[in-house]
A and B are shown apart, each in its own frame.
Chain A
Amino acid sequence: MKLTINGEERAFAQPVTTVARLLEQLGVPAARTAVELNGSVIEQHRFGESELQDGDRMEIVSFVGGG
């Protein structure tokens, strides 16, 4: 399964079923993280039910220091 995450294509040996599973696998805490899946913002409470398909494009963002 291939996903484009933050502009980089990544291959997964096993299919990653949901956004929540993907974050877990990447070691990214879900708290204070936002996900855009194929251009649509996914609310945090829907990470568990948002299914992923081969070829999906995602942005995973969080907060950094800023003014």
Chain B
Amino acid sequence: MKDLVIAGRKFTSRLFVGTGKYPSPDILRRSLEASGTELVTVALRRVSLTEPDPTLAAIDFDTYLVMPNTSGARDAEEALRLARLARAASGLDWIKLEVTPDPVYLLPDPAETLKAAEVLVKEGFTVLPYIHADPTLARRLEDIGCAAIMPLGSPIGSARGIKTEEFLRIIIEQASVPVVVDAGIGMPSHAAQAIELGADAVLVNTAIAVASDPVLMAEAFRLAVQAAEKAMLAGPIEQQTQAAASSPLTGFLE
């Protein structure tokens, strides 16, 4: 398994973690620690002048690479506006590009995503687009200079797991930039499945944040991703249609 390097930055953890929906800033902080992650995502919103969001204080910007997303953008223009503001706020070029006009399934708009990605790459952003598991779109985004591709396993927050497996396989086979499976991962086994398919990393938010014990679930995800990574390093065996005995086929009693 190749080292995970995105835009020249090496990651030892293949688990990326979103910071939304945690019950408290303290639980968020402890969950991030337990996950072993090195990259976390955040959203950009209007500052409340009456009730400041305490989440930010729980995220150590020196420990984690903090990647803003463009959530809330319904078209390319809105995504560009959010990305530029996010860069001004963070001082970093990294952006998770998401353009989701559909409020029910939050599926990404491929045309608007490609359009926004082209502009952002030209403006010097490190662009990680959230897309459907569409191998053709993944190639287009890679060709224009995206740093990684983030195809979905199933709709955001649905916890339905890796429903796009066949298309993820093609994306992984074809991609020369890292593939991060994002969205729909509900259980550690889903994360392991993505890594065992050959994905370079996974991004998990809701499954950890909304668990009864987010800190424990974060640890479970860390272990699952590590287990799958070790398995890939260990060299998995080929699947067979027929049985292959594990015990010797000689020396039977008569």
A binds B: yes
Q: How far is the CB of A18 from chain B (nearest CB, A)?
A: 16
Chain A contact patch, size range:
20 to 34
In whole angstroms, what is the CA distance A28 to B89 when docked? 13
Question: Which of B2-10, B43-51, B135-143, B189-197 has 4 or more CB atoms under 8 Å from chain A?
Answer: B43-51
The residue that A36 contacts in the complex, of B61, B85, B157, with Cβ under 8 A, is B85
Whether B86 is near chain A, meaning CB under 8 Å from some CB there, is yes
- Which of A6, A26, A42, A63: most chain B Cβ within 10 A? A63
Q: Which label, helix, strand, loop or mixed, suits the secondary structure of the B interface?
A: mixed
In whole angstroms, what is the CA distance A35 to B46 when docked? 10
Interface pair B206/A41, CB less than 8 Å apart: no
Contact with A along B49-75 (1 / 0, CB 8 A): 100110110010100001011010000
Interface pair A26/B49, CB less than 8 Å apart: yes
Contact with B along A25-48 (1 / 0, CB 8 A): 011100011111000011110000
Interface pair B42/A63, CB less than 8 Å apart: yes
Interface pair A61/B89, CB less than 8 Å apart: yes
- Which of A27, A34, A64, A67: most chain B Cβ within 10 A? A67
Interface pair A65/B46, CB less than 8 Å apart: no
Interface pair B47/A66, CB less than 8 Å apart: no
Residue positions of B touching A, CB distance < 8 A: 18-22, 28, 41-47, 49, 52-53, 55-56, 59, 61, 66, 68-69, 71, 81, 84-86, 88-91, 156-157, 203, 205-206
Residue positions of A touching B, CB distance < 8 A: 5-7, 26-28, 32-36, 41-44, 59-67
